[in-house]
Amino acid sequence: MKTYEITLYNKEVRKLVEQGDSHPQYDDGWADQRFIQLQVENEERARRLIHARHPARKGFVIIDILELPDFV
């Protein structure tokens, strides 16, 4: 397994926070970038999992997916 770090935010939350409001479902922290690590076989699997958990139709935007090096 490899470790991937996904950087994402929620554009709907960001827009509401900029207007001084809050999203009814997600906390204001989603206006900023968040970093999520997944241990999966490859980048494609990481992308599928993150899209399933944080779908674009709900405002989530993936900024980057990086494979983290193994430290032995």
What is the per-residue DSSP string for 15-30? HHHHTT---SSS-GGG
Amino acid residing at 16? L
Q: What is the pLDDT of residues 26-70, one digit of tens each?
A: 999 999 999 999 999 999 999 999 999 999 999 999 999 999 998
- Tell me the CATH number at 61: 3.10.20
Q: What three-state secondary structure class fits 58? A: helix
DSSP string, 23-57: -SSS-GGGGS-EEEEEEESSHHHHHHHHHHHS-GG
pTM for the model stands at 0.90
Q: How many domains does the chain divide into?
A: 1
